[in-house]
A and B are shown apart, each in its own frame.
Chain A
């Protein structure tokens, strides 16, 4: 693995525990899905993104509904307690931090402001900026003119806790790093060969240091 210079973060599942209800509600109201919401917000969210990816673009009314429900999701999200110290440490290590999310721009901005995370991120790429979901925000973040110092995908990590996230990272050619929040789910996902896995966000600085030390050793 090359030395890591940039980290792309999807708030849902990696920075905060989101409620799954609002994402499920979007799927019900805009895509006619039935059934109960999964207890996992990440799974519900990525399932919704699959639906969004294959459907035509939202009209103004649908956009309004989606954004209102995403605002509910952001309001109900609990930031993981290690997020702020870890982001500060990564920033001090010179790792460029970037939010790359399939949330709307309004929801992503609201999440950052609500949790006072603005100082840590060099930028935010959302589905509105990228004109698409899943890998589109990652590719947007990596594209020229987005990252302050454009980095190669090989020196960029994307944290995810779903199989869809691993696939999206692969599509963008960045390293998919598994957030092993739930051991059973992580065991299943580990069979899909992520580039790495961490038990909690606070391991990311050590991960990046280890890669650098290995490369220095040669």
Chain B
């Protein structure tokens, strides 16, 4: 494993200062289930300085806010989200989703912030190939085996899919992320936090967090009355794996009429893919047995599968039909 130095700051300001000093050769370290694997795999892009944020107070909590929403500290363990009665009561779909993240052992270590900002799990990157994210200028996934972990919705240099489940499940609730930055606190939607392949600080990454910024918490607005939501995930292995396709869907219902909808696919694109065409289609419709088939007909029209992954689009459409059926049950 690459030699690293570890800092253990006790405040967010101290952590940001260390990150600023070391530039892109430093990285925030919390659960380590992504970062340590990158180090073990000796990736070119793995950092030399780890800024361990576990000693910082106030980054690990789940609490109800004054508006009736919930704020979750970025260093909160995924297992703690899965066990949270508060989340189960307010956002059962989110709990369902986090229970499908990796394995119980990994959920005990990994954090919400880490899940949101994790590096892609393309086998070429993780295998040390010199790709766009690892010091090179080519995407091997676009021309090699792209059946599992690559985009079926096009790409921007890198064709790996965004692997996180938490972001996919948080977007239907209009959740927002809070970042500590040297210029002060910044707040943005989860959609804007992980917009897909971005050039940030001279690197390709899935999120917009700069080298000297820290994700501190996620805020979920209070659940609206009449909101129904569902999360489903298809993966190569049922026990634990990343999504080949997943769907987080929420419907704002008045009786059976859909007033508003959020449809977000995971595992098929370089970002959690919000399918606004289907959302618009669903608005004003009556939830019925036939609606799934109709929604599937308009879904993912701009799919651009690679050689081996067209099946992801079929899976995603299947999830849309089953998700709507579930919400109609």
| Chain A partners chain B | yes
Contacts of B140 in A (CB 8 A): 190
B143 touches which of A1, A186, A196 (Cβ 8 Å): A186
Is B202 part of the contact surface with A, judged by Cβ < 8 Å?
A: yes
Say whether, besides A196-B136, A214-B202, A187 and B143 are in contact (CB < 8 Å). Answer: yes
Is A148 part of the contact surface with B, judged by Cβ < 8 Å?
A: no
Contacts of B138 in A (CB 8 A): 178, 190, 194, 196-197
For residue B86, give the distance in angstroms from its CB to the closest CB of chain A. Answer: 42
Contacts of B157 in A (CB 8 A): 198, 203, 206-207, 210
A207 touches which of B23, B137, B142, B155 (Cβ 8 Å): B137
Contact in complex: B142, A183 (CB < 8 Å):
yes
Contact in complex: B202, A210 (CB < 8 Å):
yes
Contacts of A216 in B (CB 8 A): 202
Say whether, besides A199-B159, A203-B156, A207-B137, A190 and B199 are in contact (CB < 8 Å). Answer: no
Within 8 A of B (CB), among A176-198: 177-178, 180, 183-184, 186-187, 190, 194-198
Chain A binding surface SS class: helix
For residue A135, give the distance in angstroms from its CB to the closest CB of chain B. Answer: 22
How many angstroms from the CA of A184 to the CA of B145 in the assembled complex?
Answer: 10
Which of chain A's residues has its CB closest to B211's CB?
A: A217
How many angstroms from the CA of A214 to the CA of B45 in the assembled complex?
Answer: 12
Within 8 A of B (CB), among A204-218: 206-207, 209-211, 213-217
Contacts of B156 in A (CB 8 A): 203, 206
Contact in complex: A1, B142 (CB < 8 Å):
no
Contact in complex: A180, B143 (CB < 8 Å):
yes
Which of chain A's residues has its CB closest to B137's CB?
A: A196
Contacts of B143 in A (CB 8 A): 180, 183-184, 186-187, 190, 197
How many angstroms from the CA of A197 to the CA of B157 in the assembled complex?
Answer: 9
For residue A39, give the distance in angstroms from its CB to the closest CB of chain B. Answer: 17
Report how many residues on chain A are interfacial, defined by Cβ distance under 8 Å.
Answer: 26
Which of chain A's residues has its CB closest to B307's CB?
A: A183
Q: Could you mark each residue 108-129 of chain B with 1 if its beta carbon is under 8 Å from any beta carbon of chain A, else 0?
A: 0000000000000000000000
Contacts of A209 in B (CB 8 A): 199
For residue B271, give the distance in angstroms from its CB to the closest CB of chain A. Answer: 16
For residue A215, give the distance in angstroms from its CB to the closest CB of chain B. Answer: 8
Contacts of B144 in A (CB 8 A): 183, 187
Contacts of A183 in B (CB 8 A): 142-144, 306-307
Contact in complex: A180, B201 (CB < 8 Å):
no
A180 touches which of B132, B136, B142 (Cβ 8 Å): B142
Contacts of A178 in B (CB 8 A): 138
A213 touches which of B137, B142, B159, B199 (Cβ 8 Å): B199
Contacts of A213 in B (CB 8 A): 199, 201-202
How many angstroms from the CA of A49 to the CA of B23 in the assembled complex?
Answer: 49
How many angstroms from the CA of A187 to the CA of B136 in the assembled complex?
Answer: 15
Contacts of A1 in B (CB 8 A): 137
Say whether, besides A206-B199, A207-B157, A210-B202, A199 and B307 are in contact (CB < 8 Å). Answer: no
Which of chain B's residues has its CB closest to A213's CB?
A: B202
Q: Could you mark each residue 129-159 of chain B with 1 if its beta carbon is under 8 Å from any beta carbon of chain A, else 0?
A: 0001000111110111000000000011101
Which of chain B's residues has its CB closest to A175's CB?
A: B137
Which of chain B's residues has its CB closest to A217's CB?
A: B202
Is B204 part of the contact surface with A, judged by Cβ < 8 Å?
A: yes
How many angstroms from the CA of A1 to the CA of B159 in the assembled complex?
Answer: 22
Contact in complex: B137, A199 (CB < 8 Å):
no
Is B24 part of the contact surface with A, judged by Cβ < 8 Å?
A: yes
Q: Could you mark each residue 99-128 of chain A with 1 if its beta carbon is under 8 Å from any beta carbon of chain B, else 0?
A: 000000000000000000000000000000
Q: Could you mark each residue 221-243 of chain B with 1 if its beta carbon is under 8 Å from any beta carbon of chain A, else 0?
A: 00000000000000000000000
Q: Could you mark each residue 1-27 of chain A with 1 if its beta carbon is under 8 Å from any beta carbon of chain B, else 0?
A: 100000000000000000000000000
Say whether, besides A187-B144, A203-B157, A217-B201, A197 and B137 are in contact (CB < 8 Å). Answer: yes
* Residue of B138, B144, B203 most packed against chain A (CB within 10 A): B138
Instruction: Please list 27 pairs of residues, one from A and one from B, whose beta carbons are closer than 8 Å in the complex, sorted by A's number.
Output: A180-B143, A183-B144, A186-B143, A190-B138, A190-B140, A194-B138, A196-B136, A196-B137, A197-B137, A197-B143, A198-B157, A199-B139, A199-B155, A203-B157, A206-B156, A206-B157, A207-B137, A207-B157, A210-B132, A210-B157, A210-B199, A211-B137, A213-B201, A214-B202, A214-B203, A217-B201, A217-B202
What 5 A-B pairs have minimum CB-CB distances, sorted nearest first? A196-B137, A217-B202, A197-B138, A213-B202, A186-B143
- Listed in ascending order, the chain A residues whose CB lies under 8 Å from chain B are 1, 177-178, 180, 183-184, 186-187, 190, 194-199, 203, 206-207, 209-211, 213-217
Additional 8 contacts, C-beta under 8 A, given A190-B143, A199-B139: A183-B144, A196-B136, A197-B139, A207-B137, A213-B201, A215-B202, A216-B202, A217-B24
